[in-house]
Copies of this chain bind each other. A is one copy, B any other.
Amino acid sequence: MSNTIGKMFKITNWGESHGKAIGVVIDGCPSLLNLNEKDIQLDLDRRRPGQSSLTTQRNESDEVEILSGVFEGKTTGAPISLIIKNSDAESKDYDNLKDVFRPGHSDMTLHQKFGIRDHRGGGRSSARITAGNVAAGAIAKRLLRELANVEIVGFVKQIKDVIAEVNLDSVQVNQFTQENIDGSLVRCPDKKAAAEMKITIEKAKAENDSVGGIITCIIKNVPVGLGEPIFDKLEADLAKAMMSINATKGFEMGSGFNSVLMKGSEHNDEIIIVNEKNVLDGKIQTKTNNAGGVLGGISNGMPLIFNVAFKPTSTIGKEQKTIDMNQNVVELEAKGRHDPCVLPRAVPIVEAMAALVLCDHLLRHRAQSIFLNKGNKENKGNKENNGGNHEN
């Protein structure tokens, strides 16, 4: 398996759903960042199970403990080890799944790839292990905020056929805040749609079935210059991070699949200057934002906007046919606790993965832009254009 992501800001995730604990090690976090467990707990609470009637009833407090890397309230540059103990694991619920390959799950592929698997609660492939990513992401978010006031806001845009009406024009984008979004049980900013989404989820639950949807993520105040073509384009690394989340089936940046229906003359975002300042001040904008904030794999100072598609939860109460390890055809009814729709709880996961990617690229850009700063200083005396303190 490969459980590390990032190059300069790296995290290593470990743990199983019903093991003793889950956790994450963050390596490469700059020193002198203010950090305590509360900062991290906030995002974990947004992800944890049992938040509402719409989510799994597994009751985990998901309390995070910092084991290393922080001294007197600040990061030291040493690896930050976070641990979250598993408390409400009811492994017995899964005994009947020991030999069965659940449809839509990785039971079969894990068995074939490794010859062994921890079947209890989905083991390593449980969505529970994304808690580690959310915890690490909380640190990344804090770093992005302190350095560049970056703000990451995800929300549920669609549940099955219920689509939120939202205006993502650049001027409107500031309306979306975590506070607003979290006010909604399904994390959808369109109240009417949110009400329908709730009904859709409850209906699926009543039918022992499940539904999927789309999460939109908006990132404001992204410094110009993040992303490293040709392979580590910002959207490429975002796509990878999103497609590594459980149950995701699609990713699109800006106009995404809809771009296909447009002509070039419609799709190209006109570049404009919004004030009189020098080009390098970054006050260049685009009139529209079909690009979703990236040009050629590099952030252009506009809000990053992308969508992530989640399939309907694979675990359903409804009877399904499948096979077991001995090739017998079996009928299966899920008994473990699960979410009829993962979207509301997936919002902080999407945000966390985005934060990790951005943070990594912020540090990487800083490393590489060493002469750019120097040049600026000597020639113009204006602001540095590195990741850290660039203003847009």
Contact = CB atoms under 8 A, between A and B. Distances in A.
Contact of A268 (B1, B72, B104, B298): B104
Contact of A311 (B71, B259, B309, B316): B259
A185 interface: no
A2 to B, nearest CB: 4
Contact of A103 (B15, B230, B270, B311): B270
**Max chain B Cβ within 10 angstroms of own Cβ: one of A7, A23, A109, A246:** A109
A320 B21 contact: no
A257 B249 contact: yes
A59 interface: no
Interface string A204-225: 1001011111100000000011
A180 interface: no
Contacts of A171: none
A57 interface: no
Interface residues of A, number: 168
If over half of A's interface residues share one DSSP class (helix, strand or loop), that class is named, otherwise mixed; here it is mixed
Contact of A210 (B129, B241, B246, B263): B263
A67 B83 CA distance: 10
Contacts of A327: 273, 278-279
B229 A233 contact: no
A55 interface: no
Interface string A326-339: 11010000000000
A363 B374 contact: no
Interface string A138-165: 0000000011000000000010110000
Contact of A78 (B123, B233, B295, B323): B123
Given A161-B261, A211-B263, A325-B279, A2 B273 contact: no
